[in-house]
């Protein structure tokens, strides 16, 4: 049966590795995460195959046969060595996986010198990307433009509810949270056009809250950047002076409220 | 003025009257306060609704008669001596009244929960119909958000959690040799809070602005800025939570104080251990979700600004705090939704494999380990939330560690199968199916613990796949196993084995076809909770939707089987599975007070294959003779009376 399990594992691992799980890897972070996932698959396929082998073998071998209706199995109550083994082996596996995951995390979130800062502002239901340029000015764009090989640090803010910022090809994601600034690091490695998605439910327009991400050659990026007008009008408008309670668009329900001066 | 007897006696007439009184109370109180505070308008529909959402259910619970005894006692009036008039069910009508018999309450719970399984399932069909093609279909985005929010909420709070409480309510007192639960009146109240929560959740569809639509997680500040339908969730969860807590206390006291003589902790069946562990989780964790929803209530209704942190507005609320408080309950809640299932699987596998549970003590200890570790992993739901980044590392480690006790359980079940005599009927098929699907759910769970991978798949369909593998392939499979297994005991009838097997195979195959591909589209980058998606996910979504419709239809086989067998099925024997635990030693269905004499427990619960072994004797300790056999495992525990 160990042999069956080994054969199953040997067949299973190439099968799961051959599934095209991820979209293209377009960042160093994505590359690391795809490798991590492959390692996780290789580590966990034997567990699944092992469990299935025991179940199927037991069903085939120990199934009640005619005449055994009143028969009981042998009264085996346990086996200390076996129990120690299946406690210790997963523990070792877990230590290995956590250690490896930690190194990937550490490498993905490393502070790279010369990283370009992009501010991401999110609100119901749009993204706004701004690039600080000299003189305290900034270039504002509804789409994200990046240069291949240029590390980027995103600073994210939200103007109303919690949003998120996810580019599947970058394998990186972070929420944009009202009241705080969150940070995300990406180094794009592949030229192309990708979607940015809001992945945190943010109201009625959540499904359509997307933006384009364009990774260009460094020269093309410079050309794009210099063609933009610094301090242009933000594509989603200025934040209101006094941010009000955001509602779902078209929400006309009166707030069941005590007016502020009564509190 | 003479009040008609029907309106004075506990029951539906008085409940209807009290509903009206409750609404009048809410109207009066709100209007009086607004008048005193010089607010305009004095009569405010939303304000009245909020107070009514709390008051009417409480008035209903008094009106239906769950609290009469306590009011008599508190008022110093003579309490009625217990005449057991609320005990047992003689007609179907008795199931629609407060009843103090744990067996009746158990059936009330289970049937009520399955009603909400159908409601939640139908909502799932709506979700899959909407998602069958890219582009907007027949639901508006607001409606879609409402539908999946109610789907999740109903299935978590009104199906999985209570159905386990219901099965345990029926079985657990029988298993430990007790005549009933420790607090029968509290038990009745626990049940009646559930329909209250259910009605509130479904009524939210009628609220102006639609039902609650911020997901079952109700993250602030989305939830605090929603139309009033959101508060139906906020308040319904309080009732469902109170019901859970009361039941858990009841289980704890019952297990600790009402075990039959000789039933030491290490002679308890693992279902009892599982519910002991679950009840510990419930009483410690559930107050936290109550707190999180009170925050939302106060923020929405009275502008407390707990979560009001808008940039540029100078407000200093803390948005992430909601998530910490919420997940401090809602992560342990996933164990609340699986540990009782572990108990069921242990019962089914031991009996159907005709072998003692392999490593009984480790099975019990691993449950307790999960209880403790379960409180140390909550922030793994928040790896991309923007919380302090160092918290992620310890949470990854604890999350991975919790796989060890869970793995011990899976391996022990497998070892229990080994060399047994496997009776592969419907409960056993669901148990074996559970081992497969839960292992897959566990593996994706370990992957999700790994922070970098989690960052990629958080908030995508991979998460949807994972939770359905552990809650559908996990919890629901164990529930089906348990319902088929105890159906003869609960109803006194046998179910149709052939239909049961059909049900299993349809469920098992189409479950995997529905939720398996979600792993792939999730990693590919399809976000969850979207009413609309990119065209490249179209093929898989159509496939998933078609599979899900067959999966939904498979439930009809189950319902048909249960309804027809309950009415016309062949009579069940007392012990059709030749089980050793005490519930199988009494008639099917059990006598009204369970045992004619206090039973005596003389050995472990799973001594299959030990010649002459007995778990319990239906005689008081003085008359029960010591049994030398069957002392190999689990019987060295303290408190043996033999």
pLDDT of residue A144: 96
Q: Quick: pLDDT tens for B147-175.
A: 999 999 999 999 999 999 999 999 999 99
**DSSP class of residue B40?**
S
CB-based contact A254 B313, cutoff 8 Å? no
Q: Quick: pLDDT tens for B180-225.
A: 999 999 999 999 999 999 999 999 999 998 999 999 999 989 999 8
In a domain, B105, yes or no: yes
Q: How confident is the model at residue B625 (pLDDT cuts 50, 70, 90)?
A: low
Q: Which of residues 246-285 of B touch A (CB under 8 A)?
A: none
pLDDT of residue A261: 38
B424 lies in the same domain as B542: yes
Nearest CA to B450 among A103, A261, A174, A80? Answer: A103
B410 lies in the same domain as B440: yes
CB-based contact A180 B408, cutoff 8 Å? no
Kindly report whether the global pTM for this prediction surpasses the value 0.90: yes
* Chain B CB within 8 Å of residue A256 CB: yes
In a domain, B434, yes or no: yes
Dist CA A143 CA A224 (whole Å): 12
Mean of pLDDT over chain B:
92
B269 Cα to chain A: minimum distance (Å): 14
Residues of chain A neighbouring B302 (CB-CB closer than 8 A): 257-258, 263
What percent of chain B has a predicted confidence (pLDDT) above 90? 83
Q: Where in the sequence of chain A do the CATH 2.60.40.420 domains occur? A: 116-227
Residue B426 has pLDDT above 90, yes or no: yes
DSSP 3-state of B238: helix
B209 lies in the same domain as B101: yes
Nearest CA to B550 among B134, B131, B150, B124? Answer: B124
Rg value, chain B, Cα: 25
Distances (CA, A) of B318 to A114, A155, A184: 32, 19, 20
- Nearest-by-Cβ selection for A173 from B224, B424, B456: B456
DSSP one-letter string for B606-621? T-TTSTT--SEESS-T
**DSSP class of residue A246?**
P
CB-based contact B415 A79, cutoff 8 Å? yes
* Chain B CB within 8 Å of residue A87 CB: yes
pLDDT of residue B359: 94
CATH number, residue B549: 1.20.210.10
Asked whether the beta carbons of B307 and B316 are under 8 A apart, the reply is no
Angle subtended at Cα B220 by Cα B385 and Cα A131, rounded to the nearest 5 degrees? 50
B67 lies in the same domain as B157: no
In a domain, B641, yes or no: no
Dist CA B319 CA B305 (whole Å): 10
Residue B128 has pLDDT above 70, yes or no: yes
Dist CA B22 CA B340 (whole Å): 36
pLDDT in tens, chain A (263 residues): 888 899 999 999 999 999 999 999 999 999 999 999 999 999 999 999 999 999 999 999 999 999 998 899 999 999 999 999 999 999 999 999 999 999 999 999 999 889 999 999 999 999 999 999 877 788 999 999 999 999 999 999 998 899 999 999 999 999 999 989 999 999 999 999 999 999 999 999 999 999 999 999 999 999 999 998 887 666 665 554 444 434 333 333 333 333 333 33
B57 lies in the same domain as B103: no
B303 lies in the same domain as B433: yes
Among B393, B525, B637, the strongest candidate for a mutation testing the A interface, having the largest count of A CBs within 10 A, is B525
* Chain A CB within 8 Å of residue B58 CB: no
Dist CA B420 CA B400 (whole Å): 32
B415 Cα to chain A: minimum distance (Å): 8
CB-based contact B419 A202, cutoff 8 Å? no
Dist CA B520 CA B492 (whole Å): 45
Q: Which of residues 87-126 of B touch A (CB under 8 A)?
A: none
Classify residue A168 by burial, with Cβ atoms within 10 Å: 0-12, 13-18, 19+.
Answer: buried
Residues of chain A neighbouring B458 (CB-CB closer than 8 A): 173, 199
DSSP 3-state of A172: strand
Residue of B nearest to A109 (CA): B452
* Chain B CB within 8 Å of residue A133 CB: no
Q: Which residues contact B380 (CB under 8 A, 6 or more apart)?
A: B331, B392, B395, B396, B399, B448, B449, B454
B267 Cα to chain A: minimum distance (Å): 13
pLDDT of residue A236: 61
Residues of chain B neighbouring A159 (CB-CB closer than 8 A): 310-312
- Nearest-by-Cβ selection for B436 from A55, A83, A195: A55
Residue of A nearest to B387 (CA): A182
CATH 3.40.50.1100 is the classification of domain A116-227? no
B63 lies in the same domain as B162: no
Nearest CA to B268 among B280, B257, B278, B255? Answer: B255
Distance of alpha carbon B74 from its chain centroid, rounded?
32
B122 lies in the same domain as B241: yes
Per residue, what are the HEC states of B180-206?
CCCCHHHHHHHHHHHHHHHHHHHHHHH
Q: Quick: pLDDT tens for A230-260.
A: 876 666 655 544 444 343 333 333 333 333 3
Q: Calculate mean pLDDT across residues B40-47.
A: 90
Residue B284 has pLDDT above 70, yes or no: yes
- Domain total in chain B: 2
DSSP 3-state of B82: coil
Residues of chain A neighbouring B534 (CB-CB closer than 8 A): 195
Nearest CA to A162 among B297, B323, B303? Answer: B323
B620 Cα to chain A: minimum distance (Å): 28
Instruction: Establish, for the pair of chains A and B, how many residue pairs have beta carbons separated by less than 8 Å.
Output: 330
CB-based contact A160 B610, cutoff 8 Å? no
In a domain, B226, yes or no: yes
- Nearest-by-Cβ selection for A102 from B226, B393, B424: B393
Ranges A250-259, B420-429, B604-613, most confident: B420-429
Asked whether the beta carbons of B82 and B213 are under 8 A apart, the reply is no
Nearest CA to A49 among A94, A89, A10, A95? Answer: A10
B43 lies in the same domain as B124: no
The last residue of one of the domains, among B515, B535, B568, is B568
Nearest CA to A255 among B230, B35, B310, B235? Answer: B230
* Chain A CB within 8 Å of residue B177 CB: no
Distances (CA, A) of B599 to B401, B412, B640: 40, 29, 13
Angle subtended at Cα B180 by Cα B174 and Cα B182, rounded to the nearest 5 degrees? 120
* Chain B CB within 8 Å of residue A202 CB: yes
Q: Calculate mean pLDDT across residues B348-354.
A: 96
Q: How confident is the model at residue B626 (pLDDT cuts 50, 70, 90)?
A: low
pLDDT of residue A237: 56
Note if the bond before B221 is cis, omega within 30 degrees. Answer: yes
Nearest CA to B230 among B216, B248, B249? Answer: B216
Among A37, A60, A105, the strongest candidate for a mutation testing the B interface, having the largest count of B CBs within 10 A, is A105
pLDDT of residue B366: 96
pLDDT of residue A234: 64
Q: Calculate mean pLDDT across residues B416-426.
A: 95
Dist CA B478 CA B472 (whole Å): 9
Residues of chain A neighbouring B634 (CB-CB closer than 8 A): 77
Residue B240 has pLDDT above 70, yes or no: yes
* Chain A CB within 8 Å of residue B142 CB: yes
Dist CA B25 CA B35 (whole Å): 15
Distance of alpha carbon B14 from its chain centroid, rounded?
30
pLDDT of residue A135: 77
Residue of A nearest to B51 (CA): A256
| Total Cβ atoms within 10 A of residue A186 | 26
pLDDT of residue A238: 54
CB-based contact B319 A239, cutoff 8 Å? no
* Chain A CB within 8 Å of residue B571 CB: no
pLDDT of residue B313: 59
CB-based contact A203 B222, cutoff 8 Å? yes
| Total Cβ atoms within 10 A of residue B116 | 23
ipTM of the complex: 0.90
pLDDT of residue A232: 66
Note if the bond before B505 is cis, omega within 30 degrees. Answer: no
* Chain B CB within 8 Å of residue A178 CB: yes
B65 lies in the same domain as B120: no
**DSSP class of residue B569?**
P
Nearest CA to B281 among B245, B323, B324? Answer: B245
Among A48, A57, A169, A179, the strongest candidate for a mutation testing the B interface, having the largest count of B CBs within 10 A, is A179
Asked whether the beta carbons of B427 and B352 are under 8 A apart, the reply is yes
The last residue of one of the domains, among B568, B586, B602, is B568
In a domain, B219, yes or no: yes
Nearest CA to B58 among B87, B83, B32, B29? Answer: B29
B134 lies in the same domain as B279: yes
B92 Cα to chain A: minimum distance (Å): 37
Dist CA A64 CA A240 (whole Å): 73
B357 lies in the same domain as B278: yes
Quote the tokens at residue A237: 């408008």
pLDDT, greater one: B118 or B136: B118
Domain of B46 in residue numbering reads as 5-74
Residue of A nearest to B459 (CA): A199
Q: Quick: pLDDT tens for B462-509.
A: 999 999 999 999 999 999 999 999 999 999 999 999 999 999 999 999
């Amino acid at each position: 049966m160990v042999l069956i399990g080994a054969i199953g594992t040997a067949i299973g691992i190439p099968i799961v590795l051959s599934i095209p799980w991820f979209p293209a890897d377009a960042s160093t972070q994505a590359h690391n995460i795809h490798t991590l996932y492959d390692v996780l698959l290789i580590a966990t396929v034997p567990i699944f195959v092992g469990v299935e082998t025991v179940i199927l073998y037991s069903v085939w071998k120990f199934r009640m046969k005619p005449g055994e209706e009143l028969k009981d199995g042998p009264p085996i109550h346990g086996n200390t060595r076996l129990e120690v083994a299946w406690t210790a082996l997963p523990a070792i596996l877990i230590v290995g996986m956590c250690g490896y995951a930690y190194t990937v995390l550490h490498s993905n979130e490393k502070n790279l010198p010369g990283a370009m800062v992009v501010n991401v502002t999110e609100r119901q239901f749009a993204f706004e990307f701004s690039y600080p340029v000299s003189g305290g000015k900034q270039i504002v764009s509804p789409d994200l433009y990046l240069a291949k090989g240029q590390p980027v640090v995103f600073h994210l803010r939200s103007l109303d509810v919690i949003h998120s910022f996810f580019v599947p090809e970058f394998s990186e994601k972070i929420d944009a949270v009202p009241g705080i600034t969150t940070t995300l690091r990406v180094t794009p490695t592949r030229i192309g056009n990708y979607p940015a998605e809001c992945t945190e439910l943010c109201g009625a327009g959540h499904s359509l809250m997307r933006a384009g991400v364009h990774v260009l050659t460094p020269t093309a990026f410079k050309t794009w950047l210099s063609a933009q007008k610094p301090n242009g009008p933000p594509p989603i408008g200025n934040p209101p002076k006094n941010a009000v309670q955001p509602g779902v668009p078209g929400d006309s329900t009166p707030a069941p409220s005590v007016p502020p001066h009564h509190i | 003025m003479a009040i008609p007897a029907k309106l004075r006696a506990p029951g539906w007439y008085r409940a209807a009257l009290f509903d009206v009184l409750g609404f009048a109370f809410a109207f009066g109180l709100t209007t009086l306060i607004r008048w005193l505070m010089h607010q305009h308008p004095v009569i405010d529909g939303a304000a009245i609704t909020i107070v009514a959402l709390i008051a009417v259910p409480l008035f209903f619970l008094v009106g239906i008669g769950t609290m009469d005894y306590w009011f008599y006692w508190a008022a110093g009036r003579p309490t009625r001596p217990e005449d057991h008039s609320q005990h047992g069910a003689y007609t179907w009508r008795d199931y629609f009244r407060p009843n103090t018999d744990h067996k009746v309450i158990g059936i009330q719970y289970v049937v009520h929960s399955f009603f909400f399984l159908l409601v939640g399932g139908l909502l799932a069909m709506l979700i899959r119909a909407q998602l069958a093609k890219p582009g907007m279909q027949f639901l508006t985005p607001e409606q879609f958000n409402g539908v999946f929010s109610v789907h999740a909420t109903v299935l978590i709070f009104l199906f999985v959690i209570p159905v386990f409480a219901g099965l345990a309510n029926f079985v657990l007192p029988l298993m430990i040799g007790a005549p009933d639960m420790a607090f029968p009146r509290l038990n009745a109240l626990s049940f009646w809070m559930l329909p209250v929560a259910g009605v509130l959740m479904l009524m939210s569809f009628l609220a102006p602005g639609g039902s609650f639509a911020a997901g079952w997680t109700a993250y602030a500040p989305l939830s605090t800025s929603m139309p009033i339908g959101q508060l139906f969730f906020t308040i319904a969860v309080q009732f469902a939570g109170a019901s859970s807590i009361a039941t858990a206390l009841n289980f704890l006291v019952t297990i600790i104080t009402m075990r039959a003589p000789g039933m030491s902790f290490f002679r308890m069946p693992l279902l009892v251990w599982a519910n002991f562990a679950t009840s510990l989780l419930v009483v410690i964790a559930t107050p936290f979700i109550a707190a999180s929803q009170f925050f939302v209530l106060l923020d929405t209704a009275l502008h407390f600004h707990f979560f009001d942190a808008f940039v540029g507005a100078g407000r200093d609320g803390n948005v992430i705090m909601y998530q910490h408080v919420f997940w401090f309950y809602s992560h342990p809640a996933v164990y609340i939704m699986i540990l009782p299932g572990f108990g069921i699987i242990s019962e089914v596998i031991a009996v159907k494999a005709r072998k003692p549970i392999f490593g009984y003590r480790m099975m019990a200890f691993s449950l307790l380990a999960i209880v403790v570790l379960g409180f140390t992993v909550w922030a793994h739901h928040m790896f991309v939330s923007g919380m302090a980044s160092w918290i992620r590392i310890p949470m990854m480690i604890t999350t991975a560690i919790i796989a060890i006790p869970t793995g011990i359980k899976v391996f022990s079940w497998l070892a229990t199968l080994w060399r047994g005599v496997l009776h592969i009927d419907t409960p056993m098929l669901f148990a074996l199916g559970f081992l497969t699907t839960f292992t897959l759910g566990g593996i994706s769970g370990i992957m999700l613990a790994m922070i970098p991978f989690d960052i990629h798949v958080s908030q995508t369909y991979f998460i949807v796949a994972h939770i359905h593998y552990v809650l559908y392939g996990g919890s629901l499979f164990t529930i089906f196993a348990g319902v088929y297994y105890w159906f003869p005991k609960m109803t006194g009838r046998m179910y149709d084995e052939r239909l049961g097997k059909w049900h299993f195979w349809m469920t098992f195959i189409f479950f995997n076809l529905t939720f398996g591909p979600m792993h792939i589209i999730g990693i590919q980058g399809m976000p969850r909770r979207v009413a609309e998606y990119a065209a490249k996910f179209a093929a898989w979504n159509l496939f998933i939707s078609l599979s899900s419709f067959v999966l939904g239809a498979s439930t009809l086989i189950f319902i048909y089987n249960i309804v027809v067998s309950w009415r016309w099925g062949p009579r069940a024997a007392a012990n059709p599975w030749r089980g050793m635990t005490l519930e199988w030693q009494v008639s099917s269905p059990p006598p009204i007070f369970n045992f004619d004499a206090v039973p005596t427990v003389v050995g472990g619960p799973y001594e299959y294959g030990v010649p002459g072994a007995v778990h319990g004797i239906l005689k008081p300790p003085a008359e029960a003779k010591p049994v030398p056999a069957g002392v190999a495992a689990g019987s060295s525990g303290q408190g043996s009376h033999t």
